[in-house]
Amino acid sequence: MKNRFFTSFFPILIFGTCLHAQQVLNITSAVSPPYNNISNLVKNHFTGSGIELIQVESGNYPTALGYFVDGTDAIGLQRGLVMSTGSVDGIVNHGLIQASSSVSSIDTTLQELEDIAFGALNDVVYLRITFKPFADSVFFRYVFGSEEYPEYACTAFNDVFGFFISGPNPDGGSYDSKNIALIPGTNLPVSINNLHPANPVLPSCPGFNEQYYVDNNGSTNQPVFDGFSTPFVAQARVVPCETYTILLAIADVGDSAFDSGVFLEAKSLESPVSINSTLPPGMPVIPEIATADTFSLAFTDVNLVHFPLEVTFAGSAVNGVDYQTLDSVYTIVSPTDILHVVIQPIQDALNESLESVILNIDGAATCFHVDYILYISDSDSLFKPVDTLFLSPGGTLVLSGHGSAIFEETWTFSNPNSMPIPNGGLPVESVVAVDLPFTRLDDIAFLDKVCVNIQHEWAADLDFFLVAPNQSVVELSSDNGENGDHYIGTCFSPSATQEIRGGLPYAPASAAPFTGTYLPEGLWTDLIGTPLNGIWKLVLKDDQNGTNGLLENWSISFSTAGLDDFQYLWSTGDTTPTINVSTPGIYHLEASNAISHYTQTFVVQESTVSTHNPEQAQAAFQLFPNPSNGEVMVQLRQPDSVLSLKVYDLGGTCLLQQSGAGTIHGAAQLPKGVYFVTLESTEGIFTQKLVRW
């Protein structure tokens, strides 16, 4: 359940939608699925690039930890983790004095905090994160806030927190619980007494480091805290690939009343390393018919400790069989090296759909690892570099330039089984097993949509989330629709333009039933890097008592329509994959993406008879045997109707031609491969595929 505070909603209604709709800080405690696994919470919503997470430890106080969103207007951080010396559920209920009744931890000791506090500790809350960094520094962003402000500044009630790092010091020796939560430009820990305005009840207490203080006292702004810091950065120099521990800890000091909290920005615990690459992000595809272009990898942003680097090739595509042979290992000895790579597919007649090529880049003696995945796809079965087509009088032809069989293909996986959604906050989940030729979600455009049908007569009671195989979470909708009814034909898609909340703190009753396609409340980008194959979950909960709901069914779809990164240029000037033509002539297409290109020529000839589709061709004539390793016979539905019979190769070259049916003269001498047999008769022009083996 989210706790929301809607003070900004009423001015929006009064003054109209031209005003900025202030975000409303939302917090979900770690006692509530899908955020109730602390390790997953840290992994998915705190750690970012360049961090190998090893272990997460915490005390047994899930209500003191949680996940926040929509925090930009309130605290300057959009989303992330929150820790509190009280229950995080109370942080958004402005005006609540968080006294001992909201205490969430009975811990009263933690040596690291005792060393920087000047009083007895209460309500100690901590996270201990063990990790390896890839780069030579580690950092994250945070905001500290407290109900102790401003009247308890310069007193013994000096609530305190710290971020204590332990591990090798690159300057020699080790960090021994060094606190990196410091007032900028000082060695002072962030605490009430080191960061505060002038205390109105203690004239002897002037403001201290007040330039970093945000006054929220007596305000209706989020959060509950009467004051908080501007966003700070905690950072430390580290040795790449060594093991470090950061202890994130906060406590009340002197008593257990008037709680404090710290907000940790999502994905900001980073130690980033990047490799400059001309390989585009996402899921690049090379059709078998394409000519590969060179892409390069430059290593200037990689720390020297990782060299030499080894580049190897893996994946379902076989080196030397599915693409032209590359060395099994390339060694990169210095940051000035540039690796130039060409993945040239080898054409075959096999139906292999997609084959992956994985470039693994590893530090030869370190933890460093980066990989890139691209795919080789079967050619479109209708693709011919030179294609001769016949245009019937007054007719129109569609010329398709797709070189890959997978472009514009969609895979849908669904769970048709209905499931009750009990009220009272008990979560339920419905699962879908996904099996795709792609392996990892590197481009969010591949996720087409998630669709649900849910019956519920008080829509705002519902919270539901999409959970990926690696436990990454996207919040689809929570608390929307007030007393409106149902989610009927409701889809969530990266290509949507309309937010499920409609730009408001929450969607009104008039928005229900939510029929259509929407952007979810969470971010699709949180799914980048997740394995595609495995169990995807829809987690639902009704966080109120009263009305029960029913999940009727749901589905998740993936589509390559958004992955066609080819640029198309026709001789007509068109830039679309397909064009319509109504006049004879020669039409040329150039298609290219960042790593390959191909060309196609269409010769459109005028015919005095109409053309027909493949089903009609099967009825007009038969080839047998087909496949064949010898002679090929043609049997006609109307023997006297033949004008001409031609055999073309895949390049569009006419190899054989005759005026009658029966045996195709010369077919037995054709090399192994795929051919097209075109029959022009008084009934029209028909084409069938011939396979020689």
Task: Identify whether the C-beta of residue 374 lies closer than 8 Å to the C-beta of residue 286.
Answer: yes
Three-state SS sequence of 322-373 = CECCCCCEEEECCCCCEEEECCCECCCCCCCCEEEEEEEEEECCCCCEEEEE
Number of Cβ within 10 Å of residue 598's Cβ equals: 22
pLDDT surpassing 60 at residue 103: no
Three-state SS sequence of 220-269 = CCCCCCCEEECCEEEEEECCCCCCEEEEEEEEEECCCCCCEEEEEECCCE
Q: What is the mean pLDDT of the chain?
A: 89
Which sign does the torsion angle of CA 35, 38, 42, 44 carry? negative
Average pLDDT over residues 581-601: 94
DSSP helix/strand/coil, 432: strand
Number of Cβ within 10 Å of residue 8's Cβ equals: 19
% pLDDT > 90, the chain: 66
Entry pTM? 0.81
Report d(CA 500, CA 646) in Å as an integer: 58
pLDDT surpassing 60 at residue 542: yes
β-strands 369-377, 285-287 pairing: parallel
Instruction: Write down the pLDDT at residue 351.
Output: 86
Determine which helix (DSSP H) or strand (DSSP E) holds 291, and give its type and residue range.
Answer: strand 291-292
pLDDT surpassing 90 at residue 458: yes
Number of Cβ within 10 Å of residue 376's Cβ equals: 27
Average pLDDT over residues 232-249: 97
Render pLDDT for 171-226 as a digit per residue (tens, 0 to 9).
999 999 999 999 999 999 998 999 999 999 999 999 999 999 999 988 877 888 99
Considering only residues 235 and 114, tell me which one the structure prediction assigns the higher pLDDT: 235
Number of Cβ within 10 Å of residue 512's Cβ equals: 23
Report the candidate in 397, 400, 126, 96 with the shortest Cα–Cα distance to residue 262: 126
pLDDT surpassing 60 at residue 548: yes
DSSP helix/strand/coil, 669: helix
Distant-in-sequence, close-in-space partners of 4: CB < 8 Å, separation ≥ 6: 24, 26, 92, 479, 505, 506
pLDDT surpassing 80 at residue 581: yes
Determine which helix (DSSP H) or strand (DSSP E) holds 295, and give its type and residue range.
Answer: strand 295-298
pLDDT surpassing 70 at residue 82: yes
For the chain, list the domains and their CATH numbers: 9-265 (no CATH), 276-377 (2.60.40), 410-559 (2.60.120.260), 609-693 (2.60.40.1270)
Q: Running DSSP on this structure, what letter comes out for residue 19?
A: S
Q: What is the widest separation between alpha-carbon atoms in the chain?
A: 113
Considering only residues 640 and 293, tell me which one the structure prediction assigns the higher pLDDT: 293
Considering only residues 446 and 684, tell me which one the structure prediction assigns the higher pLDDT: 446
Considering only residues 12 and 540, tell me which one the structure prediction assigns the higher pLDDT: 540
Instruction: Write down the pLDDT at residue 350.
Output: 87
- DSSP states of 140-186: EEEEEEESSTTTTTTSS---EEEEEEEEE-TTSSEEEEEE--B-TTS
Instruction: Write down the pLDDT at residue 98.
Output: 39
Instruction: Write down the pLDDT at residue 384.
Output: 86
Helix, strand, coil shares of the chain, percent, nearest 5, are 10, 45, 45
Task: Identify whether the C-beta of residue 236 lies closer than 8 Å to the C-beta of residue 180.
Answer: yes
pLDDT surpassing 60 at residue 670: yes
Taking CA atoms, 518 is separated from 454, 478, 483, 533, in Å, by 15, 13, 20, 24
